[in-house]
Structure 1
Amino acid sequence: MASPAADDYLKTVYAHTEWQDAPITPSQLAAKLGIAPSSVTEMVKKLAAAGYVSHVPYGAVRLTDAGTRRALAMVRRHRLIETWLVQEFGYGWHEVHDEAEVLEHTISDRLLEGIDERLGRPRFDPHGDAIPDADGRVERDPFVLLADAPVGHRGRVLRVDDGDPELLRALEALGLAVSSTVQVTASGVHIDDQELALPTGAAEVVWVTA
């Protein structure tokens, strides 16, 4: 069942457990995709019948090995395109997600390979998410969510969630970016010897080295 909709489902299921362990529920999947729960139920049944997910009624949705391979292929497309838009066209990191959502379903494998080669085989996208290689391998350092890091913890920013463009802009204005070194304080973080108060919700979308 080759379709952009199916690929979006699989990519969303994969991304949900990429930075935490709890599997995604159908209601969470519906919320992330902005789709009615009844529509999600029907698509999950189709994906399960095709061997891409495992699911029991009212239970979590999990990728099978086949589903993981397909999800990784789509994740690779999305993140390479985001990186390409930033590096080659000057897009901001808060602007690329929606563009990549469209382009990932349209470009050829040949063009994707050319983009990867031109960019120098990048391992991470502009938000710090790992770009799977052509064989689906992913490399990632041990991590902790900033909200869960104790006061005094020092680490390098690995990833900033791209779900809220306004929050991305606010963090960029503060000087917090992927690869920044931060130290957790009682009221925020230290960056470059400056103590900064983070915007509301920021600690829930930033991951640092453990």
Structure 2
Amino acid sequence: MESPAADDYLKTVYAHTEWQDAPITPSVLAAKLGIAPSSVTEMVKKLAAAGLVSHVPYGAVRLTDAGTRRALAMLRRHRLIETWLVREFGYAWDEVHDEAEVLEHTISDRLLEGIDVRLGRPRFDPHGDAIPDAAGDVEREPFVLLADAAPGHNGRVLRVDDRDPALLRALEAAGVIVGAEIEVLAGGIAVGGSEIDVDGAARSVWLSA
């Protein structure tokens, strides 16, 4: 089953459980994709028939081994392109997602490999998401969501959710970028000794555990 829509479904299912454990339901999948639940139901049935997902009515959607391999291949494309746009073309980290959504379906495997080599085979994209290698292997260190981190915790920013460009810009302005050292306070966070309170950051930032 080859289609950009199928690839987007598989990517979304995989990405949902990268940074937390709860499996994705059809209703959550519909919300993330901005698609009517009835359309999601039909596509999930097609993906299941193709052996790419497993699903029981009203239950969670889970990738099969074949679905996981395909999702990782698409995420490799997406995240390498985002990294390429930031490093080579001066895009900001809040500008690359939509461009990558288009380009990931069009560039050849040869160009993708060339991008990977030129960039020095990066392991993470600008938002801290792991870039699978050509074999589908992923590296990730232990992490904690900022909302779950206890006051007094110190850690590096490993990942920032890329869904909200306005939040990305606010976090960047506050110095909350991938690699920054963060101290968790009772009412906010401290970056470089300066206390800040960034609305919406608690469930959008992951720190080293």
TM band (smaller chain): over 0.9
1:95 and 2:95 matched: yes
Paired AA for residue 15 in structure 2: A
- Corresponding residue for residue 86 of structure 1: 86
Q: Deviations over 1:73-127 (max 9, x none)?
A: 0000000000000000000000000000000000000000000000000000000
CA distance in 2, matches of 1:137, 1:40: 28
CA distance in 1, matches of 2:26, 2:187: 36
Q: Deviations over 1:18-66 (max 9, x none)?
A: 0000000000001111111111001000000110000000100000000
Runs of 4+ with deviation above 3 angstroms:
none
Paired AA for residue 144 in structure 1: V
CA distance in 2, matches of 1:57, 1:159: 33
CA distance in 2, matches of 1:13, 1:117: 28
CA distance in 2, matches of 1:151, 1:34: 36
CA distance in 2, matches of 1:136, 1:42: 28
| Residue 208 of structure 1, CA deviation | 0.2
Count of equivalent residues: 209
CA distance in 2, matches of 1:172, 1:157: 12
CA distance in 1, matches of 2:197, 2:12: 31
1:2 and 2:2 matched: yes
Secondary structure at the counterpart of residue 177 of structure 1: coil
Q: Deviations over 1:124-162 (max 9, x none)?
A: 000000000000000001000001000000000000000
- Corresponding residue for residue 204 of structure 2: 205
CA distance in 2, matches of 1:205, 1:70: 26
CA distance in 2, matches of 1:63, 1:99: 26
| Residue 196 of structure 1, CA deviation | 1.3
| Residue 193 of structure 1, CA deviation | 1.3
For structure 2, list consecutive stretches of 5 or more residues without a partner in the other structure.
Answer: none
- Corresponding residue for residue 37 of structure 1: 37
Paired AA for residue 26 in structure 2: P
1:160 and 2:149 matched: no
| Residue 201 of structure 1, CA deviation | 1.1
| Residue 197 of structure 1, CA deviation | 1.6
Structure 1 length normalisation: TM-score? Answer: 0.99
**Identity percentage over the alignment?**
81
For structure 1, list consecutive stretches of 5 or more residues without a partner in the other structure.
Answer: none
Secondary structure at the counterpart of residue 2 of structure 1: coil
CA distance in 1, matches of 2:158, 2:123: 12
Paired AA for residue 113 in structure 1: E
